[in-house]
Homo-oligomer: A and B are copies of this chain.
Amino acid sequence: MRVALLFAMQAEAAPVIRALGLVPGAHSVDERFGFVQHHGDYRGLQIVLATNGHDAVHGVDQIGTQATVLNAYLTLTANQPDLCINAGTAGGFVKRGGAIGDVVISNGVVRYHDRRIPIPGFDAYGVGSYPTLVRPEIATRLGLREGSISTSDSLDATPECHARMDAHDTQAKEMEAASIAWVCAKLAIPFVALKAITDLVDGGLATETEFLANLHLASERLCDRVVAFLDLLADEPQVFALQGDA
């Protein structure tokens, strides 16, 4: 079985690269964009792990949907995985029971909360509502919180963003999942997102401060659950029913 693991930031991916013993890809998909790939075999699973690399102008990780759409497309079409996992960090919500270090697994649909096109048809198109794999047993077995994941291209959120996240009972606010889910929907590749909470959107602290303070901790916690996810996939693939066999 082939599995694609997509991360936006190198810091989010580094513990997983180490834990799985992955090695840098011999060929970059398109070196002009700076995307990075690692490959390896983990317990019989063929893994490709892609990160968005760094922006040549600003020297920062190429977070957000713009780089992610293209990296996802290039990685997925080149590797034709049976499952695509988007792993990363996210903001949680105290008012919906979230806590730092929780790992949220997507609950069936990922949406955008920053795309408003108030014309019939275009409105729903903008929100996206892309499908994700739903296997409640996975959350139970791995101690994950199944919840609504919502994407925007901003680390903060406007009142309009909050209204949309409230309406969708968002558990994890992040910056990439919907863009990968869109590519997966078009390519008919099953998609799941795993997001570790680094900051509490409604917790009273500045997101950027809390995000940076907890990025390392959350990335380690994320790694632990990603490896457990892959172990379950290697040991009991029937739980995932990727071939429609359940």
Contact A65 B65 (CB under 8 A): yes
Cross-chain contact A154 with B126 (CB below 8 angstroms): yes
With a cutoff of 8 Å between Cβ atoms, the chain B residues found around residue A122 in the complex are 58, 60-61, 63, 155
Q: How many residues of A contact B (CB 8 A)?
A: 47
Docked Cα-Cα span, A59 to B186, in Å, equals 14
Alpha-carbon distance A66/B70, docked complex (angstroms): 9
Q: Does A33 contact B (CB under 8 A)?
A: yes
A117: min CB distance to chain B, Å:
5
| Contact indicator B187/A154 (Cβ below 8 Å) | no
Which of A42-50, A84-92, A108-116 is found at the contact surface with chain B? A108-116
Known interface pairs A66-B69, A125-B58, A179-B66; A153-B114 also in contact (CB < 8 Å):
yes
The number of times this chain is found in the oligomer is 2
- Residues of B near A112 (CB, < 8 A) are 153
Q: Report yes or no: B66 in contact with A154, Cβ–Cβ below 8 A.
A: no
> Judging by beta carbons under 8 Å apart, are A114 and B117 in contact?
no
A97 located at the interface, meaning its Cβ lies under 8 Å from any Cβ of chain B in the complex? no
Give chain A interface residues in 209-225, CB to chain B under 8 Å.
211-212
Bound state CA distance, A112 and B152, in angstroms? 13
Q: Nearest residue in B to A116 (C-beta to C-beta)? A: B154
Q: Which of chain B's residues have a CB closer than 8 A to the CB of A187?
A: 32
B70–A154 CB distance below 8 A: no
Contacting pair A59 B121 (CB below 8 A):
yes
**Interface flags, A40-80, vs B, CB<8A=1, else 0:** 00000000000000010111111111100110010001000
